[in-house]
Amino acid sequence: MQRDTVHGGRRSTQKMDSPYKEKMIAFVSDLAFEFPHLRFEMDAEHKNVDFYGEFPIQESLDFKIGVALDDDLLSLYVGSLWLEYFPVTDASVLESFATALRGLLKGTYRVVEYASGNSSPHKAVLQRRENGYWKPCGRWSRFHLPSFRRAHERVLIRVEQSATPNHRTPSAPGSDGR
């Protein structure tokens, strides 16, 4: 939410805080508190969003996980994956977000990125471990031209607490996110 103001004939845009900001800061902080061995950094005065928080790369986490609130839209960032949870007033939306974040921090969820050649990823899939298979539960993609080359995969998973040491286990038939 933004407020336009005019000062001396010049227009400026000023970010207004979301009415959900304090509740969502407490919600995300409580989730982070469940993992006291992981460092969590929060910027409650971010210039573009109501708040931005991050589990940075650290000894037991090889990739960063970011969360942001913009009015009533909660976002989750992992590698190339960007998922949006809306509206934050819906309890099932918050539970879905919390389940995904906990799963990533426990190693029961993972992100698989797909890229062709040396390009940046054109697709990323959030997957959860279920009955010995990885099942997709969220995805992000951008436009890319088809290629005859097989896409390279990069798997982001917190191995330390993973359900299995072999994190390259097969996906369920037809659920590889392609």
38-76 confidence digits (pLDDT tens): 999 999 999 999 999 999 999 989 999 999 999 999 999
Classify residue 72: in a domain, yes or no.
yes
Classify residue 116: in a domain, yes or no.
no
Which backbone phi and psi does 113 adopt, to 5 degrees? -100, 145
**Among 121, 79, 78, residue whose Cα is nearest residue 100:** 78
**Predicted structure pTM score:** 0.78
Classify residue 58: in a domain, yes or no.
yes
**Which parts of the chain are beta strand (E)?**
2-7, 10-15, 41-43, 51-55, 65-70, 73-78, 81-85, 109-115, 123-130, 133-141, 152-156
Classify residue 39: in a domain, yes or no.
yes
Classify residue 142: in a domain, yes or no.
no
70-125 confidence digits (pLDDT tens): 999 999 999 999 999 999 999 999 999 999 999 999 999 999 999 987 778 989 99
Classify residue 32: in a domain, yes or no.
yes
Into how many domains does the chain fold?
Answer: 1
Identify the domain containing residue 87 by its residue range. Answer: 2-100
Classify residue 119: in a domain, yes or no.
no
Classify residue 42: in a domain, yes or no.
yes
Q: Determine the Cα–Cα distance for residues 140 and 83; give it in Å rounded to an integer.
A: 7
Helix, strand, coil tally for the chain in percent (to 5): 20, 40, 45
